[in-house]
Structure 1
Amino acid sequence: MRTTELVSGFRQSAPYVNAHRGKTFVVMLGGEAIAQPGFRSIINDIALLNSLGIKIVLVYGARPQINQALQHAGLDASYHKRVRITDDDTFQLIKQVAGALQLDITARLSMSLSNTPMQGAQINVVSGNFVIAQPLGVDEGIDYCHSGRVRRIDVQGIRRQLDSNGMVLMGPIAASVTGESFNLTAEEIATQVAIKLKADKMIGFSADGGIISDDGDIIPELLPNDAEQVMQRLELQDCCCAASLAFLHAAISACRAGVPRCHLISHNADGALLQELFSRDGIGTQMVNESAEKLRPATIADIGGILDLIRPLEQQGLLVRRSREQLEMEIDYFVLIEKEGLVIGCAALYPFADEQVGEFACVAVHPDYRDADRGSVLLKYVIQQAKQRRYHTLFALTTRSIHWFLEHGFELATVEDLPAQKQQLYNYQRKSKVLALSLA
C-alpha cells in the first residue's frame, strides 16, 4: 500500500502537535486579513489550534475598515509620526467598526455547522478589560486626543481564561483607569501581551506572506538585528506593505523582550498558518532569538539521526559504510547541524595527533537543505577545531566532490602524503582522491 500525502503530512506534523500543546500563542489578525475572502479559513485554522490544546490570545486590528468608514463619513484620516490622531468624530466611528468586528469574529468562532471544520468545536471566546490604556497626550504641539498606548496588562486575568480552555479576544479599543476609552494599535497590544504573558509565539499576517528579499524570495528566518536592517531598508524603498512593516517592528520588540519566535505568514494562502506551525520548514518568515539551526558536537543520542542521513550516501557509494557500533565509538569526532530535532548535516574530524594532522570525513547534508552551502559551515567549524588542536594539515578523501574541496582551498595530494596509519587503511579499490588543506 502506498503512503499517501495525507499520511506523510500527518506523520511529519505529529512532533509539532506534541511540541505546541499547552503553549501560548498570540495571534495578531490585522484588518487586512479580516477583509480577505479566506478569512473564514483562517478562523477555522485558529479554532483548530485551540482544539489541539494551544492557548490562543487573538488580537484583531481594523485599520482598513476604519479608513473605509472615515471615507464614507467624509472624515479625513490624520496622522502624526505614523500614529492616527483620534478626535471625537473619528473615535465614534472607530468604536462602531471595532465593536462590529468583535461580534463578527466571535460569531465565526462560535460556528459549529455540520460538514465544516468547526463541527463539534466548542470555543469559549472571552473579551474583557484585560488591557488598561493611557493617552498618548501631546507631541510637538499635536494632540493625539483619543489615541493611546498600553499602560498595563492583566496577566493573571488572561491566564485564568486560557487555563479554562477559553480563547481571549482583544480589539484595538482599551479602557483607562479614569473610565475613558482609547484607540490603540493591534501591533502594540499583541506585542505587550506576548511579552507580559511570556508567550511562546507571536503570529501575524500580511499579503506578502513574509518578508521579501531583494531577489523576490521570502526570507525564512531573521534575527532581531538583521530584521532591523531589513526594516530600515524596506522603509526607504517604500516597497513593503504597511502590515508587514508594522509586524516587523512589533516582532523585533517582542523577540528582544524574550518571545522566542514571531511568525509572519500570508493571509492569502489557504492553510498558511498550519503549514507554518506544523511543518519543519514553514511557509513564511520567522524571527527568532537564536537560529532554528544549531551547529553542535554530536552525542550518542544523535546516532540514529546521523545514520538516517548517511545511509543513502553509503548505498550510493559516496561514503564509506559505518556500522552503528563504529559510530558509537567515534561519536566524539562528529559535529552536526540540527533543525527542529532533525539532523540535516554532519561531518567528522578524525585525529592523527602524533603527526598533527586531521581528517575531514563523513560529510553529509540532507537533500532538502543543500541550497545554503551547509557543507561550508561544517568545514569552517572543523577547521577551527583542527587549529585549536594545533594541527598543521587537514586532509580529505573523496570520489565525487573533488571540485568542492578545491574551491574551498584544498589541493590534490597523494596517498604517500597521508599519515602512516591512514595509508595502511587506504582502499585502493575505491581509488579515492586525496586532498589536503594547509592550516599554517
Structure 2
Amino acid sequence: MQALNTRFPFVDWFRNSSPYINTHRGRTFVILIEGEAMADGRGEQLIQDLALLHTLGVRLVLVYGIRPQVSRALGEAGIDPQRHDGRWVADQAIMRCVERIAAEQRLWLEARLSLGLPNTPLHGVELTAVSGNLVMAKPLGVRRGIDFDHSGEVRRVRVGSIESLLDRGALVVLPPLGFSSTGEVFDLEASEVARHAATALKADKLILLGEADGLYDDSGRLQRQLTPIEAEPLRRAAIPGSELARHLSAACEAARHGVGRTHLLSWHDHDALLGELFTRDGVGTMITQHRYEQLRPAELGDIAGLLELLRPLEEHGMLVERPRERLEQEIDDYLVIDRDGMIIGCAALHLFPDAGMGELACVAIHDDYRGNARAELLLAEVERRARRRDIKALFALTTHTAHWFIEHGFGPVRIDALPALRRDAYNHARKSKILLKPLS
C-alpha cells in the first residue's frame, strides 16, 4: 500500500476528499470569477474546475466580472469615465461598451462550457449554461451631487427562475448587469450580484475568486477563518472601491444574511478552488457567522471521534486506555475542539467536590494540529469550568508531558496531595508524575 501511495499520491488525496464530495453533492455554490482572471488567461482552468464540480453534483451559479476588459475597451475608444467612490458614471457611451463586453464574455464562457472534444477535461461532460434577465436592478441615482446615470444596484434576484434552472441541472451564468421594469439595463458590481444571489438562494457557499489569496494578520500569517465582526475593521480600512473592499463587503453581508460560508481565494493559484473545497484546512480565508473550528462540550455523537483521536496516544502509553463505555459514562466531563466535523482536540475535567479539587485529564491534540495553542485553549476553558464549580485546585497525572504542565503553572506534589478516591485509584506501575495548580 505504501508503494502505491508513493507512485500515485493523488490516490490518498482522493480518498481523503470523499467526505467533502458527499457533503457538497446537491449543495448550491455561488462563484464569482473577477474579470482579471479571464484577462490573464486563467478562464480555461477555472471552467474545467467548474465542470468537475458540476459532475460531482454541485448546483452552480457563476457570476463573472468584466472590469479590466471594459477599462481596456474604454481606453481604446478614448473614453475617460468619471469615477466616484470606486464606481464609474455609466453614461450611454460607457453602457454600450459594458453591454458589448458582457455579451462577449458570456458567449466565451458558454462556448468553453460546451467544449467536449476528446482528450480535453470536458470530454463526455454535458453542461447546459443558462443566462437571462435573472437580476433586477435600480439606478444608483444622484449621490453627493453626482448623477450615476446607468450605474445601478441590485433590487432583487429572481430566485424561483434560478432554482428552477438549477433543479433541471443547468449551470446559471449571471453577468454584472441588471434589468429594470422600465426596460433599462444597468451596470452592476459583480461582487454585489454574487452576494445578492447567494443570499436570495440561501446558498451553502459564496466563493470569491480575486487577486489576493486570503487575508493576513500583522505578522503576515494567513487567517484561515474570520467572523463578520472580526473582518469588519479590515473592510473599513480598505480603499473604497478596491477589490478587497468589495469582497469583504460581500462576504460580511452574506454571512450576516444566512450564507453558511464565504471563501476568499486567488485565481492566480491553479489549485485554490478545489483545494479549498476538498481539503479540511483549505487554502484561503473563510468568512462565516459560526466558526468551523470550535471549542465546545462533548456529546455522545463525538465518541467515535474521541476514540480515533486517543487511540495513537494510548498505543504509545501516553494516555491510559479509555474504552467506549467509560467515555460514554464520563462524556459530560469532556471538552472537544471540533474542526469541520473532525475532533482534533479534547480535555476532561473530573471533579472531586468534597476535596475542592478537579483532575485535568486526557489532554490530547491531533498530530496535524499541534503548535497553535489549542492545548492552552483547552486548559483555559477547563480552568473556567473548575472555577464556576468552586474548585480550588487542579491536578494532573502524566508520564510524558510534565514540562508542559509546569510551564502552565502546575508544580510537582506527592501522592498524598490527591483526593482520597483518586489516591486509591493511582496506578503505581505507571509511575505517573503528579502535578497540581492552585486556582486563585
Contact 2:346 2:363 in 1 (8 A): yes
Q: 1:82 aligns with which of 81, 86, 107?
A: 86
Conservation of the 8 A alpha-carbon contact between 1:205 and 1:243: no
Q: Which residue of 2 aligns with 1:65?
A: 69
Residue identity in the other structure for 2:203: A
1:125 corresponds to which residue? 129
Is it true that 1:15 corresponds to 2:54 in the alignment? no
Structure-1 separation of matches of 2:257 and 2:302: 32
**Alignment correspondent of 2:362:** 362
Separation in 2, partners of 1:65, 1:359: 64
Distance 1:291 1:114 in 2: 43
Structure 2 counterpart of 1:163, from 154, 163, 167? 167
How far the C-alpha of 1:128 sits from its partner, in A, is 0.7
Q: Does 1:187 align with 2:191?
A: yes
Per-residue CA shift, 1:140-180, capped at 9, x if unaligned?
22111110111121110111101111111011122211111
Amino acid at match of 1:421: L
Quick one: distance in 2 between partners of 1:328 and 1:268?
48
CA contact (8 A) 1:204 1:265 kept: yes
Give the deviation of 1:212 after TM superposition: 2.4
Deviation at 1:15, TM superposition (A): 1.1
| 8 Å Cα contact 2:33-2:210 kept in structure 1 | no
Q: Which amino acid aligns with 1:15?
A: P
Aligned equivalents of 2:202 and 2:299: distance in 1? 31
Partner of 1:150: 154
Aligned to 2:176: 172
Q: What letter corresponds to residue 161 of structure 2 in structure 1?
A: G
Relative to structure 2, which stretch is displaced further, 254-263 or 1-10?
Answer: 1-10
Superposed counterparts of 1:270-419, under 5 Å: 270-419=270-419
SS of 1:319's equivalent?
A: coil
CA distance in 2, matches of 1:229, 1:404: 35
Aligned to 1:98: 102
Residue equivalent to 1:25? 29
Task: Give the partner amino acid of 2:296.
Answer: R
Unaligned runs of 5+ residues in structure 2 are: none
CA distance in 2, matches of 1:87, 1:123: 36
Q: 1:399 to 1:235 in 2, by over 3 A?
A: farther
Give me the whole-angstrom Cα distance separating, in 2, the residues matched to 1:250 and 1:128.
23
Provide the alpha-carbon RMSD of the alignment: 1.7
Partner of 2:242: 242
Find the residue that maps to 2:273 and give its secondary structure: helix
**Residue-by-residue CA offset, 1:269-324 (whole Å, 9 max, x unaligned):** 11211110111111111101110012222233322211211121222222122233
Could you tell me how far apart the structure 1 residues matched to 2:324 and 2:176 are?
Answer: 58
Structure 1 CA distance for aligned equivalents of residues 195 and 238 of structure 2: 21
In the alignment, structure 1 segments of 5+ residues that lack a partner are none
Secondary structure of the residue that 1:121 maps to in structure 2? coil
Indicate if the aligned counterparts of 2:335 and 2:346 stay in contact, CA closer than 8 A.
yes
The DSSP-based 3-state class of the residue aligned with 2:183 is coil
Matches of 2:163 and 2:384 in 1, distance apart? 47
Deviations for 1:51-78, whole angstroms, at most 9, x for unmatched residues? 1111111111111111111111111132
> What's the CA shift for 1:124?
0.9
CA distance in 1, matches of 2:92, 2:66: 18
Instruction: Write out per-residue CA displacement over residues 330-381 of structure 1, whole angstroms, 9 at most, x where no aligned residue.
Output: 3232211111221100111112122121100010001111132111111122
Could you list the runs of 4 or more consecutive aligned residues of structure 1 that deviate by over 6 angstroms after TM superposition?
Answer: none
Change (3 A) 1:170 1:143: same
Q: By how many angstroms is 1:17 displaced?
A: 1.1
Cα distance in 2 for partners of 1:98, 1:108 equals 15
CA distance in 2, matches of 1:102, 1:210: 27
Give the 3-state SS of the residue equivalent to 2:397 in structure 1.
Answer: strand
Judge conservation of contact 2:350–2:358 (CA < 8 Å) in 1: yes
Closer, same or farther in 2 for the Cα pair 1:235/1:395, shift >3 Å?
Answer: farther
Kept after mapping to 2: 8 A contact 1:67/1:77? no
> Partners of 1:242 and 1:150 in 2: how far apart?
19
Q: Take 2:197 and 2:209, find their aligned partners in 1: how far apart are those partners?
A: 17
> In percent, how many aligned pairs have the same letter?
45
- Pair 1:37 & 2:41 matched: yes
1:234 shift after superposition: 4.4
Query: For 1:399 and 1:232, how far apart are their aligned partners in 2?
Result: 50
Displacement of 1:14: 1.0
